[in-house]
């Protein structure tokens, strides 16, 4: 799957977050969207994921030789972001069962193996509201990485992770992203060091 922007821009009221951005994000590649806090990295990610429409220009999605309509993009993308909420009244097992009713998980993966990979096997039957912030971030990473989608959007993916959590994140990237389009929004190089291309939002302010 590839995502293409053509002379795209996004504004809120009279303030342009980015403008005149033409770029194609190719399948099986990794990209970093960088810039200082408040520069519009997450907004650009929202436009690319189809969650938000551009104010001008076009954002188009294609898989194989066919174009995808905006309302169908969600089926092909998975997102991990600190502002996305978990259903904290559920246990980990219940949450995974709930989530994967909407998107299939990767072949050969099940709830038990995910919990083991993420280091959460001892907390599978505990309500997520009792998890630490780092454990909750591991759940968010799991629901993104293990969804069977060709595109993965990662917005500040190492939020609240300790050293072991960051090492886990890089293992997930190495093991589960070789055949996917990955787009990371971050101003911390530890989160996007593996990316082959970098786009600075500050270059598209006019």
Query: How much is the pTM?
Result: 0.94
Q: Work out the pLDDT band at 61, boundaries 50, 70, 90.
A: very high
Secondary structure E strands in 64-117: 66-68, 77-80
Q: Work out the pLDDT band at 94, boundaries 50, 70, 90.
A: very high
Q: Which two tokens stand for residue 126?
A: 């505990």
Cβ proximity of 159 and 191 under 8 Å: no
Q: Which two tokens stand for residue 143?
A: 């629901």
Work out how many domains the chain is built from and give that number: 1
Whole-number mean pLDDT of the chain?
Answer: 95
Mean pLDDT of 3-28: 95
pLDDT of residue 99: 86
Q: pLDDT by residue (tens digit) across 167-192?
A: 999 999 999 999 999 999 999 999 99
The CATH number covering residue 90 comes to: 3.40.50.300
| DSSP code for 147 | B
pLDDT of residue 205: 85
3-state secondary structure of 178: coil
- Segments forming the whole domain that contains residue 174: 2-204
List, edge to edge, every strand of the sheet that includes 15-25: 15-25, 2-12, 56-63, 66-68
Partners of 33 in the β-ladder: 185, 199
């Amino acid at each position: 799957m590839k995502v293409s922007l053509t002379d795209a821009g996004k504004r809120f009221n009279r303030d342009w977050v980015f403008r005149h951005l033409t770029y194609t994000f190719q399948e099986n590649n990794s990209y970093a969207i960088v810039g200082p806090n408040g520069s519009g990295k997450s907004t650009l990610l929202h436009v690319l994921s189809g969650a938000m429409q551009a104010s001008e220009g076009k954002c188009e999605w294609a898989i194989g030789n066919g174009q995808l309509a905006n309302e169908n993009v969600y089926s092909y993308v998975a997102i991990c972001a600190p502002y996305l909420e978990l259903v904290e009244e559920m246990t980990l097992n219940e949450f995974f069962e709930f989530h994967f009713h909407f998107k299939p998980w990767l072949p050969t993966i099940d709830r038990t193996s995910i919990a083991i990979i993420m280091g959460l096997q001892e907390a599978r039957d505990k309500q997520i509201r009792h998890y630490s912030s780092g454990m909750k971030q591991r759940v968010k990473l799991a629901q993104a990485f293990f969804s069977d989608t060709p595109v993965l959007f990662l917005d500040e993916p190492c939020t609240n992770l300790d050293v072991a959590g960051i090492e886990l994140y890089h293992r997930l990237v190495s093991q589960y992203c070789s055949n996917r389009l990955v787009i990371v929004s971050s101003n911390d190089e530890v989160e996007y060091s593996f990316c082959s291309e970098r786009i600075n939002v500050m270059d598209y302010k006019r």
